């Protein structure tokens, strides 16, 4: 008998496959399809800081009709588009998904500044979320901002959000921190129960005809797995807290690699968007077949077995890999 169960953020999960935030986890119908296909938990799409501010500015406008402050204030906020719904609709949508599903449902907040918008952490909890994912998606473009200042802002935010919560909280990160292990440890000390590595950065493109910068979403492939794989392997055993891998998991083998690096769960979006939710049971079968062939009996047995601390040549996670890989071409 193969035991696929795992523990993540203190929750006991039937297998390590989690559906990460995406349009698939937004609606009851598709969330149910994910559950029926065997997913162990789902993460709702994010409620964006900008969206909460938008709504409160609208309310402000209604209360102070006749002033220009609303239109002016909105010009400072990016257009959040169709995908992101308003905060109250978000909470209702979470309630609906939660009551339709048996597997754990995580809410997601996306923002970087402290402010009244983080009260929504509590509303998400009250709506029934089993955990919260806090997505720290930011670009450090200001030359006057030092890495220490930026990290302090993010750690302060994590501490504030955690102070509002009873449920566990994971922090979804970008790979662009100069000293990731130290920062990761500080996040855990500030209250993160888990770290989700790494946010996928959607690089904008240029439209040369219109001379415009255009958003451009490219789904991941299995090569994208290497970055989170390496960093989870480096952090596992050094930084307390659980790890979830996001970006680049498409197959059962990708999931096994992520567990062996030290992840408690592997989260997937692109594969389901590209090839359908039917991939979920196939990936579970791929995992079981691989484990049977290689005589593993549980996820726990594999977890962290290829982390930097566990492998025979730990230097291969560092500069030695760079030198070896160049000479291997
Ligand atoms: C269409 C789409 C919408 C997404 N929406 C969110 C979101 O609201 N919040 C979030 O944290 N991540 C969001 N993501 C990122 C995914 O949750 C995931 O981290 C990313 O796609 C990398 O995983 P993958 O390689 O399995 O696709 C979105 C991704 C896609 C493709």
Task: Take atom 13 of ligand 1 and give the residue whose Cα is closest.
Answer: 21
pLDDT at 217: 87
The answer on pLDDT for 281 being more than 50 is yes
Q: Which of 47-56, 59-68, 143-152 has the highest mean pLDDT?
A: 143-152
Tell me the percentage of the chain whose pLDDT exceeds 70.
Answer: 91
Ligand 1 pocket test: pick from 19, 21, 172, 271 the residue with the most ligand atoms within 8 Å of its Cβ. 21
Residues pairing with 134 in the sheet: 109, 171
Atom number in ligand 1 closest to CA 196: 19
The answer on pLDDT for 60 being more than 70 is no
Q: What number is the average pLDDT over the span 68-82?
A: 50
Task: Take atom 25 of ligand 1 and give the residue whose Cα is closest.
Answer: 247
Task: Take atom 27 of ligand 1 and give the residue whose Cα is closest.
Answer: 270
Task: Take atom 23 of ligand 1 and give the residue whose Cα is closest.
Answer: 247
**Ligand 1 centre distance from Cα of residue 200 (Å):** 7
For 316, half-sphere exposure in the C-beta direction (CA atoms, 13 angstrom radius) is 12
**Ligand 1 centre distance from Cα of residue 138 (Å):** 15
10 Å CB burial of residue 127 (0-12, 13-18, 19+) is buried
Atom number in ligand 1 closest to CA 220: 25
pLDDT at 149: 95
Residue 296 CB partners (closer than 8 Å, separation 6+): 2, 302
pLDDT at 84: 67
pLDDT at 329: 84
Atom number in ligand 1 closest to CA 48: 8
Q: What is the pLDDT of residues 128-182, one digit of tens each?
A: 999 999 999 888 889 999 999 999 999 999 999 999 899 999 999 999 999 999 9
The answer on pLDDT for 22 being more than 50 is yes
Atom number in ligand 1 closest to CA 21: 17
**Which pLDDT band, with edges at 50, 70 and 90, does 194 fall under?**
very high
Q: What is the pLDDT of residues 293-314, one digit of tens each?
A: 999 999 999 999 999 999 988 9
The answer on pLDDT for 242 being more than 90 is yes
State the residue for tokens 């594999």.
302
**Which pLDDT band, with edges at 50, 70 and 90, does 62 fall under?**
low
Q: What is the 3-state secondary structure (H, E, C) of the chain?
A: CCECCEEECCEEECCCEEECCCHHHCCHHHHHHHHHHCCCEEECCCEEHHHHHHHHHHHHHHHCCCCCHHHHHHCCCCCCCCCCCCHHHHHHHHHHHHHHCCCCEEEEEECCCCCHHHHHHHHHHHCCCCEEEEECCCCCCCCCCCHHHHHHHHHHHHHHHHHCCCCCEEEEECCCCCCHHHHHHHHHHCCCCEEEECCCCCCCEEECCCCEEECCCCCCCHHHHHHHHHHHHHHECCECCEEEECCCCCCHHHHHHHHHHCCCEEEECHHHHHHCCCHHHHHHHHHHHHHHHCCCCEHHHHCCCCCCCCCCCHHHHCHHHHHHHHHCC
What integer best gives the mean pLDDT of the chain? 91
The answer to which of 40-44, 124-128, 185-189, 313-317 has the lowest mean pLDDT is: 313-317
Pocket of ligand 1 (CB under 6 A): 20-23, 45-46, 108, 110, 135, 172, 200, 217, 219-220, 224, 246-249, 268-270, 273
**Ligand 1 centre distance from Cα of residue 267 (Å):** 10
Torsional sign, CA 303, 294, 322, 246? negative
pLDDT at 75: 47
CA distance 16 to 13: 7
Helices 252-261/279-293 angle, 10° precision: 60
pLDDT at 57: 64
The answer to which of 28-32, 57-61, 287-291 has the lowest mean pLDDT is: 57-61
User: CB atoms < 10 A from the CB of 3, how many?
Assistant: 13
pLDDT at 328: 84
Backbone φ and ψ of 266, nearest 5°: -115, 130
Tell me the percentage of the chain whose pLDDT exceeds 90.
Answer: 74
pLDDT at 63: 53
Q: Do 290 and 47 meet the contact criterion of CB atoms below 8 Å apart?
A: no
**In 143-156, which positions are buried (b, 16+ CB within 10 angstroms) versus exposed (e)?**
eeeeeeebbebbbe
The answer on pLDDT for 279 being more than 50 is yes
Torsion (CA) 279, 203, 225, 83 in degrees, nearest 10: -30
Q: What is the pLDDT of residues 92-109, one digit of tens each?
A: 999 999 999 999 999 999
């Amino acid at each position: 008998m193969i035991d696929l169960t795992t523990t993540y953020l203190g929750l006991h999960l039937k297998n390590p496959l989690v559906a990460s935030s995406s349009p698939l986890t937004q609606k009851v119908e598709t969330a149910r399809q994910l559950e029926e296909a065997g997913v162990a938990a789902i993460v709702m799409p994010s409620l964006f800081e900008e969206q909460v501010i938008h709504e409160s500015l609208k309310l402000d406008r209604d209360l102070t009709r006749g002033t220009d402050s609303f239109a002016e204030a909105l010009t400072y906020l990016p257009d959040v588009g169709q995908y992101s719904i308003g905060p109250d609709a978000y909470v209702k949508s979470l309630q609906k998904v939660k009551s339709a599903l048996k597997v754990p449902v995580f809410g997601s907040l996306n923002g970087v500044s402290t402010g009244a918008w983080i009260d929504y952490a509590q509303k998400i909890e009250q709506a029934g979320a089993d955990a919260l994912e806090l997505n720290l998606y930011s670009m450090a473009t200001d030359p006057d901002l030092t890495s220490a200042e930026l990290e302090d802002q993010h750690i302060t935010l994590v501490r504030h959000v955690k102070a509002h919560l009873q449920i566990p909280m994971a922090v979804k990160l970008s790979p662009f921190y100069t000293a990731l292990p130290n920062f990761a440890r500080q996040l855990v000390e500030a209250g993160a129960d888990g770290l989700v590595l790494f946010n996928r950065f959607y690089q904008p493109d240029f439209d040369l005809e219109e001379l415009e910068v255009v958003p451009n979403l490219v789904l991941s492939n299995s090569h994208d797995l290497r970055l989170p794989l390496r960093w989870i392997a480096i952090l596992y055993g050094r930084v307390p807290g659980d790890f979830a891998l996001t970006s680049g998991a498409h197959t059962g083998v990708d999931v096994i690699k992520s567990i062996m690096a030290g992840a408690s769960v592997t989260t997937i979006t692109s594969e389901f968007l590209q090839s359908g939710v039917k991939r979920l049971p196939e990936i579970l079968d791929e995992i079981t077949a691989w484990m049977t062939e290689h005589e593993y009996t549980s996820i726990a047995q594999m977890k962290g077995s290829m982390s930097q601390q566990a492998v025979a040549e730990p230097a291969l996670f560092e500069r030695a890999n760079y030198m070896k890989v160049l000479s291997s071409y």
